[in-house]
């Protein structure tokens, strides 16, 4: 039979054991909770840093993309302007959505919605963005046939054409002859290709006052281009020039300044393509800078109502003319 002392020891042993196990269990639970909380805090902090860095980087790239677009439209894209812009940044990639518009006389008309994608991950660069300039791909029996074929941009506008004045051809498109077939309440833009190069000041006197002079086609053709029969006709996306109107549709007093400044500035930027350097080398004429006298005009884009545009018929300095955007006057 157990003594009283033995019974007391057994009693205390039974009580001590579960108490000790509970303490260990609590310690383990607290340790796990502490680990979870610390891990969660680290995850939140790291996620915040990553998201903040992602937003900062994409915002910087977005601003550069916007600057690039504005610079590009300053030297190219005849009678086309960048409208309202909306940036949509996500994880590692972003997208600029913008409206393009044109001026027909004093009337601005929409020219479609466009997208430009950007990213800081080279492996996915190019996945997001615009799919191209044209509504659909054209086919032809020859290069000449393909060049002369009517094309449309993504908004359904007819793409204007420009003719190389240094290459002779048997026939030229002259849409001025179609004006009698178009209702008098229409406004339109027309590209005019000249027979030779003229100065900016001379061109201003060549266009009737009732017609809006929207854009100058600058002769940026190299000696090789001037003798290359495959470069007889250019689409409006392949030519460079000067906008004669600002973004509000007002005439610019010295429009060549923005064109020159854009080329001189952008040729120094590493992020830009070498097109600015190429234009600079072609236009500087052996000098260190581009001057107004270096800018020879070989075509223009004009706009206005049908009756006013008829005044361009039979002008001997116009080699070719193609209709672009057409809209109702009211």
Q: Tell me what pLDDT residue 116 has.
A: 86
- pTM score over 0.95: no
- Coil, strand or helix at 120: coil
Instruction: Please determine, for residue 50, whether its predicted confidence score (pLDDT) is greater than 90.
Output: no
Instruction: Please determine, for residue 234, whether its predicted confidence score (pLDDT) is greater than 60.
Output: yes
Instruction: Please determine, for residue 5, whether its predicted confidence score (pLDDT) is greater than 90.
Output: no
Q: Tell me what pLDDT residue 228 has.
A: 87
Contact 207, 300 (CB under 8 A): yes
Q: Please, which pLDDT band fits residue 285 given cuts at 50, 70 and 90?
A: confident
**How much of the chain, in percent, has pLDDT values that exceed 90?**
59
Instruction: Classify residue 81 as exposed, middle or buried by CB count within 10 Å of its CB (0-12, 13-18, 19+).
Output: buried
Instruction: Classify residue 48 as exposed, middle or buried by CB count within 10 Å of its CB (0-12, 13-18, 19+).
Output: exposed
Instruction: Please determine, for residue 141, whether its predicted confidence score (pLDDT) is greater than 90.
Output: no
Contact 77, 45 (CB under 8 A): no
In 3D space, the residue among 320, 315, 303, 323 whose CA is nearest the CA of residue 182 turns out to be 323
Segment 36-61 mean pLDDT = 90
Q: Tell me what pLDDT residue 286 has.
A: 74
The upper half-sphere exposure of residue 26, i.e. CA atoms within 13 Å in the direction of its Cβ, equals: 6
Q: Tell me what pLDDT residue 92 has.
A: 86
More reliable by pLDDT, 47 or 14: 47
Element at 321 (helix H, strand E)? strand 318-328
Contact 190, 108 (CB under 8 A): no
């Amino acid at each position: 039979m157990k003594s009283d002392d033995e019974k007391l020891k057994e009693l205390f042993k039974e009580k001590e054991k579960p108490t000790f196990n509970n303490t260990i269990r609590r310690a383990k639970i607290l340790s796990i909770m502490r680990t979870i909380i610390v891990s969660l805090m680290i995850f939140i902090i790291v996620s915040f840093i990553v998201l903040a860095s992602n937003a900062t980087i994409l915002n910087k790239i977005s601003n550069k993309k916007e600057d690039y677009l504005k610079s590009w439209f300053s030297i190219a894209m005849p009678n086309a302007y960048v409208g309202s812009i909306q940036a949509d940044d996500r994880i590692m990639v972003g997208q600029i959505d913008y409206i393009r518009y044109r001026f027909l006389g004093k009337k601005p008309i929409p020219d479609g919605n466009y997208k430009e994608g950007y990213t800081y991950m080279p492996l996915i660069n190019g996945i997001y963005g615009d799919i191209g300039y044209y509504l659909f791909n054209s086919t032809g029996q020859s290069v000449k046939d393909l060049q002369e074929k009517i094309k449309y941009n993504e908004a359904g506008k007819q793409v204007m054409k420009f003719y190389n004045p240094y290459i002779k051809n048997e026939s030229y498109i002259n849409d001025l002859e179609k004006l009698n077939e178009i209702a008098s309440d229409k406004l339109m833009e027309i590209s005019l290709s000249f027979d030779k190069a003229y100065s900016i000041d001379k061109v201003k006197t060549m266009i009737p006052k009732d017609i809006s002079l929207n854009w100058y086609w600058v002769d940026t053709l190299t000696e090789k281009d001037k003798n290359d029969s495959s470069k007889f006709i250019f689409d409006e996306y392949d030519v460079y020039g000067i906008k004669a109107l600002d973004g509000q549709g007002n005439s610019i007093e010295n429009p060549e300044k923005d064109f020159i400044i854009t080329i001189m500035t952008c040729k120094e930027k590493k992020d830009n393509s070498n097109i600015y350097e190429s234009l600079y080398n072609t236009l500087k004429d052996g000098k260190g800078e581009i001057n107004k006298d270096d800018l020879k005009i070989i075509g223009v884009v004009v706009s206005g109502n049908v009756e006013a545009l008829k005044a361009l018929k039979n002008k001997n300095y116009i080699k070719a003319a193609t209709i672009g955007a057409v809209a109702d006057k009211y």
